[in-house]
A and B are shown apart, each in its own frame.
Chain A
């Protein structure tokens, strides 16, 4: 197990071409509010990526009242905060960066490629399936991962994919690659 490597959730647009500066700032701000609800910086989060387990120190700027009010909506806050964490975790654990964003009915998906790899299409890109849980036990994180993997395997999703679920309260991040034939 790796211990106390950092997980950088700020400045994601500098490393991920699929994020604009405005979107990266929005996700970071939401993540800060999510983290403040349960922890004080820095806090160690456990990242599980297939067989690898790491404890990662997460640092963030404590949010002010204005940010907390702006992110009062549970669903939006957790979704955007989880996006920052999952994209950062994919970079740290898998060496992949978000290269594209594409819209869906209910939101937007990010597509991952190995850092430094150029591609002029999305034929081999991994879709990042992001989900977050504000509070709840680690078991809820695993259950959410199972649910997301099942969604992907039901064939209505883009394959291949990486499922990334963040439990803010229980300080857990799980990344799981899903490979299946359509």
Chain B
């Protein structure tokens, strides 16, 4: 029986959803589920024709992100670099994969005990800045936006932009 990319992707979706559901409670189990989801996603990617540029970009980013979430930094880097070598990769996928590679580098330079939480400074309005701890830049922005929306200044200040910097740089990696 042949298995097309769609079936493999469905399998990956289910495993990733299960991993997300137990991520906060059983980290080891979540990592294993993310690893299996990544394997299914990579197999799905193999079944998508080169002419389906956007679909390959979406599933490729998903495969690399799943490797990252499983804690397999080498695997995430391998998938991302392989895809970045593809000339027809759409712009959104290129940008996402480069960010995944940055995450890989950042995580490699942290002690294992600190992986998963970084300090970000998020500029929410021209005057309001929040320092928050989060696993990712996106999560930090959400947290800061929540804090801003709850605050007393939400009515009177204009949310103009969100600029996020990692406030606490990890130590430089030793080669």
Binding site for B on A (CB under 8 A): 18, 20, 22-23, 26, 74-76, 78-79, 100-109, 111, 120-123, 131, 133-137, 139-140, 143-144, 147, 155-159, 182
Contacts and interface: CB of A to CB of B under 8 A. Distances in A.
Contacts of B9: 100
B91 A140 contact: no
Residue from B69, B139, B142, B143 with most neighbouring chain A CB atoms (10 Å): B142
Given A143-B159, A182-B92, A107 B138 contact: yes
Given A103-B61, A105-B138, 6 more contacts: A103-B16, A104-B96, A105-B136, A121-B54, A147-B159, A156-B96
Interface of B: 4, 6, 9, 13-14, 16-18, 20-21, 24, 37, 41, 48, 52-55, 57-59, 61-62, 65-66, 68-69, 90-92, 95-96, 99-100, 103, 134, 136-139, 142-143, 145-146, 148-150, 154-155, 158-159, 161-162
Nearest to B138: A106
Contact of A147 (B58, B59, B162): B162
Contacts of B146: 74-75, 78, 133-134
A122 B149 contact: no
Given A75-B143, A121-B48, A133-B149, A102 B61 contact: yes
Contacts, number: 119
Contact of B17 (A23, A104, A106, A111): A23
B interface secondary structure, majority: helix
B164 to A, nearest CB: 11
A interface secondary structure, majority: mixed
Contacts of A74: 143, 146
A75 B120 CA distance: 15
B92 A158 contact: yes
A133 B145 contact: yes
A133 B4 CA distance: 39
Given A121-B55, A122-B54, A155 B95 contact: yes
